[in-house]
Amino acid sequence: MRFIHSFWFKPIIENPEKSWAGFSKPEYFWYCWALSLLTVRRHYQSAELYTDSHGMRFIQKLRLPYDNIHVVFDSLEDLRPEFWAYPKLLVFSLQQQPFLHLDTDVFLWKPLPDRLFQCEVFGQNFELQPAQHQFYRSLLEELRKHMVYLPASYFEEEPGEREFAAINCGIVGGRAVELFQSYSKECMEIFLRPENQEGWDKIFRESNIPSGLFNAAIEQWNLSLWGRDRHVEVLFSREQVESNYFKGESLGYTHLLGVSKSEGSFCAQIEEQLFQLAPKTKARIDEFCAEERACGWKG
């Protein structure tokens, strides 16, 4: 099983004063990334990164321990920065063997359960709470309203009408590589089909829903549709998600909630955990951020 991170740096390079994946400053972004990678490497022998030339340069300067770095996002120069799920989907489409993709804000405090490695498809958890059903329903209504092209499955049923809801993709992967190739290509079409571009313009201009959230409907709801006839496993049950969302270390796994990235207490915990695990890595990040900030992250 290949362990994979991915990150597309165009939104950060274009707006380094604001866009650090929800963190208030780049140091916290890199502390989080390094901690994610090092917790993976503590339990597993290898990890790979898919990124662009900017990411390659940053990672090499920081000496983060990836076995392979694949530069595949340089061709996305014209991609809208709001389409943050597209590069991740591109990575799925490129896989030729079983894989496990983790977001760079995911920490593995313990090894993952062996059952995941035998699955056709696995994800972090099913999104089954009523508020999540309403969230996806609102996104799908907007997509149906504005997109010229959508897969027929988008019109078959509503979120919440069956127990098999959207799949959180903080951790995602499996052995059904051909499914991930087909699913990801269908998702990428929604983003890039020429006949959808006017609809995307209207969504970005008129919708009350933040534009970036539409990625969740396309990435996570679509995966549940593709996985309907497959054996799908999740890391957490509904009860674990509802009762332990902020107790990740006891479960062996943490995926940071977006709002937590702007909270000083969470960021301080990440900084301290990285310092305890790898003080030299933290010191390199501090020095690196000071240097890059001085030149506007252009290198």
- pLDDT given at position 50: 98
- pLDDT given at position 166: 85
Domains defined along the chain, listed by start: 2-126+164-188+228-294 (3.90.550)
- pLDDT given at position 247: 52
- pLDDT given at position 70: 98
Beta pairing, strands 48-51 & 68-71: parallel
Q: Classify 181 as helix, strand or coil.
A: helix
Q: What is the spatial distance between Cα 105 and Cα 88, in angstroms, rounded to a whole number? A: 14
CA 230 to chain centre: 22
pLDDT in tens, the chain (299 residues): 999 999 999 888 888 777 788 898 999 999 999 999 999 999 999 999 999 999 999 999 999 999 999 999 999 999 999 899 999 999 999 999 999 999 999 999 999 999 999 999 999 988 876 667 778 888 888 999 999 999 988 887 655 444 447 888 999 999 999 999 999 999 999 999 999 999 999 999 998 888 888 998 899 988 988 888 787 888 876 555 544 444 566 678 888 877 778 777 889 999 999 999 999 999 999 999 999 887 777 65
Would you say 87 and 39 are in contact if contact means Cβ atoms under 8 Å apart?
A: no
* Amino acid in the structure at residue 292: E
Q: What is the spatial distance between Cα 176 and Cα 227, in angstroms, rounded to a whole number? A: 10
- pLDDT given at position 230: 80
Give the number of other Cβ atoms within 10 Å of residue 143's Cβ.
20
- pLDDT given at position 242: 46
Q: Which among 235, 228, 135 is positioned nearest to 176, based on CA atoms?
A: 228
- pLDDT given at position 28: 95
**End-to-end alpha carbon distance in the chain:** 34
Would you say 137 and 89 are in contact if contact means Cβ atoms under 8 Å apart?
A: no
Buried b (16+ CB within 10 A) or exposed e, 73-95: beebeebbbbbbbbbbbbbbeeb
